[in-house]
Amino acid sequence: MRTRRKVAGLAALLGVLALGGCGIRPTHVPVDGGPAPSRVPCEVNGEDITQQSQSRDVPVRIYLVCASQLEPVDRTAEIPESKSVEGRIQVAQALLEELQREPSAAEREAGFATYVRGPIAVSGQRRSDPDGTLRLSRQPEDLPAAALAQIVCTFSESQASATGGAVILGGPGEYAPRGYGCSGKAKDRPEDVLPTVGPLPSPSATRGSATTTESVPPGAGAALSTPPATGPTTVE
């Protein structure tokens, strides 16, 4: 009987040693591995917006990248009240400058980054461009996909957008402008190539006048909402 007890005890001891040698702790006591990793909030409180504002600033909304998606960020900027063509260009330039700014400390802490790297300026349409065209100082197709998505989605929800909510962009060269849409898929996957509507017809080709054309043909919005499937630098 004693021999059996000794053998059983020895077997139990060997089992404990074997578990320890394999790195398995022979205990049923829960081990605290620390708190679970927190998700990036992708939100900025209103205090940061108040600190940015100055006397002539008005609230604006831009799109930055957070957690590999486009997320809206509220800021303040000096925006002209004029709804003229010149005022529209100034609005687009002010928004573009906001996109080129380094995110604030609060925005960085929340996980926001921007892919729009300057200098990029905006100017008005040329004589043969569709009405509502904005010309960038860099070719839109040459920008990182996420940067173009930021610009398009920011412009689309502002006075900078053309008729129908499309954003018609051209570059400094002779290439024809193209219409871009900010769809839900564009916000979810900003690294993919944006859908386009174009090349758009010139004003003179559709109405015989360079000043009275519609910028987006009927039904363009539906085409923009169903883009084909195709494929960020974070701020330190």
* Share above pLDDT 90 across residues of the chain, in percent, rounded to a whole number: 43
- 8-state DSSP, 42: -
Q: Is 175 helix (H, G, I), strand (E, B) or coil?
A: coil
CA angle 26, 27, 31 (to 5 degrees): 120
**Of 227, 232, 196, which is closest to residue 69 (Cα–Cα)?**
232
DSSP string over 124-135: ---TTSPTT-EE
> Which residues does 82 contact at the CB level (< 8 Å), separation at least 6?
90
Each residue's pLDDT tens digit, 20-74:
555 545 444 444 454 444 456 898 876 655 555 555 688 999 999 999 999 999 9
- The tokens of 144 are what? 């990182």
Instruction: Quick: pLDDT tens for 99-127.
Output: 999 999 999 999 999 999 989 999 999 98
Q: Is the Cβ–Cβ distance between 139 and 157 less than 8 Å?
A: no
For tokens 């499937």, what's the residue? Answer: 229
- DSSP annotation of 226 reads S
Q: Which residues have C-beta within 8 Å of that of residue 157, sequence separation ≥ 6? A: 61, 182
Q: Hey, where are the domains in the chain?
A: 83-104+115-224
